[in-house]
Structure 1
Amino acid sequence: MNDLGFDKRPEDTRIVVAMSGGVDSSVTAALLKERGYDVVGVTLQLYDHGAAVERKGACCAGQDIHDARNVAAEIGIPHYVLDYESKFRESVIDDFVDAYTRGETPIPCVRCNQTVKFRDLLGTARDLGAEALATGHYVRREAVDGRARLMAAVDASKDQSYFLFATTQEQLDFLRFPLGGNDKTETRRLAERFGLPVADKPDSQDICFVPNGSYASVVTKFRPDAGKPGDIVHLDGTVLGRHDGVVNYTIGQRRGLGIGGRNKDGSAAGDNDPLYVVRIDPATNRVLVGPHDALAVDEIRLATLNWLGPEKLSDTPRPVMVKIRNTMAPVPATVRADAVGDVIVRFAEPEYGVSAGQACVFYEGETVLGGGWIQRQDAAVAAA
């Protein structure tokens, strides 16, 4: 049994590595090559949007493809570039734009992993005769009682398990994550030891296809109506100001609203009682604001559940730890299925700034049990 879990010699085990042109995927390919595996590198060209290609920290376009090709040549493996621009546009960019126009806050990295990488690329890897598809994600895969489990990375600061919650059991059986036990410093050291030309390359930042980090510019490019001005309205129905397009706002936002706070008697104030975005309503083109308490959420409903736990989810509340944002520490909650097939998550303590379109991911210790997409739940507003 080799160290990837196959009953054959490494040299008889073909592994396709998804090479983005960054340090992590490059080290993944070099490590597997050093261990004697039959490694094939594949890079996906996902977009070519001018400024996005030139922006430092982008991935999967322009210079990154060139970098991946150079790494493959350095370590002596075959390398292929696949044009996935149309797939990426349909599965990721269009979904991103549509979600924003619905007043949601999407996570395109999850959609990319769920569709383009772990559905389409995984199929390509099988066509190439691979036993597995390896990536540079910081997450672990462990076999327990003959079943693959998805686990958080050893380095909590680099853990990417939140973004991989939609990985199915069938996909997980085929995937491998060699860097899950590393921290970033160790990965950089390995890149230097292998003499990789990307050893000092910065990590990718923000969303790869968004030039200069401006989400609104991407959305309004495809959906100009998302930049249409409208009213900023208090939950009590008072119109407080104007906005320059609902796409520029997110749930929980406080800064950049262009309005002051309110005193306890409801009159305008400076920042005595700050206001937050509590709802985005594209149907009426309004941004709804209210006090911090209005952001408190005790319970959320999820759709499109992906469950990886060994026991089937039932209508009995099950204690879990959950994350509703990648950057937060897991918090206690219960999860259960309801009669119509949705999943209900109830927090032990209210959570603030819950955004529709984000993911809620379940953990049991370091094991990822799955997760789902947070559905919209509208805040009440008085008639203006």
Structure 2
Amino acid sequence: MDITTGKVRSALVVGGGVAGPVTAMALQQAGIAATIYEAYDGPADEVGGGMGLAPNGFEAFDAIGVGDAIRAVSTPMNGIVLQSWNGRRLATFGTLPGLDPTRFVMRSELFRTLRQAAEARGITTVHGKRIVDATEDADGVTARFADGTTATADVLIGADGLRSTVRRLIDPSSPAPQFAGTAGFGAMVRDAGVAPTDGMMIMAFGKRCFFAWQVLDDGTGIWFVNLPVPQPLSVNEQREKGGAHWLAHLKQVCEGDATPAAQMLDATDPEAMLFTGSTENMPTNVVWSRGRLVLTGDAAHAPSSSSGQGASLAAESSVELARCLRDLPLPQALARYEELRRPRVERIIKETARTNARKAAGPVARVVRDALLPVMFKMTKPEKNAWQFRYPIDFEAPVG
């Protein structure tokens, strides 16, 4: 740390998913040397399903020069159509004026693109480093890893996801993620056997599950399901039963709904099934920082996948954290970072909780939901929700 200004010059970034590489690249751009420490023994390029990247997320990606690389591996979604189980259209949301469309990307492609961009900039990722403890002194913070090795820098940034170890090091009484009532499944199919959806993602509140799909002009299809489950379901538990089991079960659950679920599930290779485990939210009473330790991304604020904002918010926070560390002494930097970010992310988490409740609705609640949603959406102007998608970042602007 610069002893004359108290500003950070080096950082340990724990976690190599989305937030980790974005944080490291943003820090490098801010003049702060960063090394990524990842628990996995190798790149996690094949981990996870698909996700939406919102326009606000691309503001952050563009701020560090990786936006175009991510656009190249993602597919634009011109809008979203919401419908009920019987095919009744509840609402249509197009791209807001002045904004680029949300884009769909496979998590593996996003991981690979970010990893390669960080490598191209000379940022080191050290694999097989599972953090177990951290100690601080006047000179810096030292991370201790499960293999007995250590690393020291001015600040330690936890970008280690929903079950963050760094979060527990900051606050041993930190709350656990909250189960949101559903489990996620999905796949990409080469020949969906279904008509193209003209760039729209169609989402159906089915009688027994939530089914969404998009079909491109070349016949490639993307689908995902949020299945209400009585208790949390892990990715390992999903995998143990296998793709064939879940495809048969989901086809049965979707039966009777006015969706192409049967055709798209039949077109899915069981080995290509993607499992995402339970949908979960992080509670809003998380402590974000202590001393030289701070959180970013899902470790700090994880809206469930229903928000379509998880990766985008992670990118925003990672870039804003780098700007704060560039411009302010450490204690003030972390305070300003939280001041900038917490109100926004907690508002989105609150909005997402309502969406999750709709997806997990029972028979009676489903009838009420389908009756009220068209009225609600008709009364709500699209611009009212624009705040979620408009978050310009001027990286060069000083943080006040």
Q: TM-score, normalised by structure 1?
A: 0.28
- Work out which structure has the larger RCO, using CA pairs closer than 8 Å and 6 or more positions apart in sequence: 2
Structure with a larger share of its residues in helix: 2
Q: TM-score, normalised by structure 2?
A: 0.28
Q: Which structure's CA Rg is the greater one?
A: 1
